[in-house]
Amino acid sequence: MTKTIVNSWNEWDPLRHVIVGRADDCHIPPAEPALDAKVPEDSDMRGQWGRRPQDTIDRANELLDGFAALLEGRGIRVDRPTPIDHAQPATTPDFHTDSQFGCMPPRDVLLTVGSEILEATMSYRCRWFEYLNYRPLMQRYFEEDPRFRHESAPKPRLTDADYHPDYLSDKIGNAKRLEWAAAKHFVTTEEEPLFDAADVLRFGRDLVVQHGFTTNLKGIEWLRRHFPDHRVHAVNFPGDPYPIHIDATFTPLRPGLILNNPQRRLPDAQRQMFERNGWDIVDAAQPAHNSPPPLCYSSTWLSMNVLVLDPKTVCVEASEVYQMEQMDKLGMNVIPVALRDAYAFGGGLHCCTADVYREGQCEDYFP
């Protein structure tokens, strides 16, 4: 087995080593403030919690294993997490939760920047211990790569002071949610730094971070201080009534080209850095489905949650015919990957992975 090197500066350079999540023992967690604000108001998940049905776990694992094998077949090294017992309740001096979430999706927890892998603070109580699923891998990388920096952001307290109480109703309605999103009034307060790794996109020297439900301004400021050699940009998408995780909203494909969710347009003032440097921001194709699969947190826009293998090659979910067609027109080679039956476990092809090694160095794309 070749020794690990941790190195990844962006979302598109040739991928050589990646972590793919597992569905084992995943739970629908019990009610808690941050998560409740995110579960869609018309969702079949409201009011129920517990271990996910075994047949759905088995099916999701079959698809995740298939994706891992496909990547391995292309010469990419794939590592998998070691699930902890997600049925365990957790109590800290500040909160209690009756179960964990799972070890999907890794993208939410682990942020790779150069030779560093940073464990995010997370913002849900049920995901506070999720980093433990990846610790066996982190220990191994630490032993194998003398340059690897294993970092963990300060664990948040996640008391009720972290959440705005007006979000705790299950009858807010879309109009109100959009009004709040436009005003940048999200469920998380500014009590302490909070961020999920999946709110961050890496563009070499620049990090683009979504301000929303799972990442607050203090979290973005924490990232700014933690990565002093980077420029950290806060973005927000007023068209998204449930703004969590940037990767079904804004998807860079290669230097100069980004797909943007047409319902969640990046505001003009925030487009300038891209436009000044000749980057195109194009509307993503429509999703092929009218509704998400059962027991799913995400929207149908997981259609644009793609994994770029190199600037000419992209994995797209196999049923997303319009997205595949658009990729083809944009000059990308498309690899269809079946994953839809795993969406319920937290996301699509980008979500269910975390970078360990991509070729290339830290470039300045926005000089």
CA 192 to CA 80: how far, in whole Å? 31
Q: Which of 298, 323, 326, 353 binds ligand ARG (CB under 6 A)?
A: 298
299 binds ligand ARG (CB under 6 A): yes
Minimum gap (Å) between residue 146 Cβ and ligand ARG: 30
From 13, 351, 352, 355, the catalytic residue: 351
93 Cβ partners below 8 Å, 6+ apart?
none
301 binds ligand ARG (CB under 6 A): yes
CB nearer to ligand ARG: pick between 4 and 323: 323
CB nearer to ligand ARG: pick between 52 and 245: 245
Minimum gap (Å) between residue 22 Cβ and ligand ARG: 15
From 245, 247, 310, 315, the catalytic residue: 245
Minimum gap (Å) between residue 299 Cβ and ligand ARG: 4
Nearest Cα residue to 80 out of 147, 140, 14: 140
Q: Is 315 a catalytic residue?
A: no
Minimum gap (Å) between residue 50 Cβ and ligand ARG: 21
CB nearer to ligand ARG: pick between 4 and 246: 246
Q: Which of 351, 355, 356, 357 binds ligand ARG (CB under 6 A)?
A: 351
Nearest Cα residue to 32 out of 188, 215, 153: 188
Retrieve residue 203's tokens: 């563009």
Minimum gap (Å) between residue 126 Cβ and ligand ARG: 14
CB nearer to ligand ARG: pick between 4 and 351: 351
Minimum gap (Å) between residue 1 Cβ and ligand ARG: 28
From 25, 162, 196, 199, the catalytic residue: 196
Residue 290: burial class (beta carbons within 10 Å; 0-12, 13-18, 19+): exposed
Residue 272: burial class (beta carbons within 10 Å; 0-12, 13-18, 19+): exposed
- What is the phi/psi pair of residue 357, to 5°? -140, 125
CA 198 to CA 134: how far, in whole Å? 16
**E-only strand ranges, 80-140:** 90-91, 96-97, 110-113, 116-119
Backbone angle region of 122, left / alpha / beta, with phi > 0 → left and psi within -120 to 50 → alpha: left
Q: Is 196 a catalytic residue?
A: yes
Nearest Cα residue to 164 out of 100, 212, 108, 93: 212
247 binds ligand ARG (CB under 6 A): yes
CB 97 within 8 A of CB 32: yes
Q: Which of 126, 198, 207, 208 binds ligand ARG (CB under 6 A)?
A: 198
Q: Is 351 a catalytic residue?
A: yes
CB 297 within 8 A of CB 1: no
148 binds ligand ARG (CB under 6 A): no
CB nearer to ligand ARG: pick between 244 and 327: 244
Backbone angle region of 130, left / alpha / beta, with phi > 0 → left and psi within -120 to 50 → alpha: alpha
Interactions with ligand ARG, residue window 101-130 (CB under 6 A): 105, 107-108
Q: Which amino acid is at 157?
A: R
Q: Which of the residues are catalytic?
A: 196, 245, 351
The contact set with ligand ARG (CB under 6 A) reads 105, 107-108, 198, 244-245, 247-248, 298-299, 301, 346-347, 351
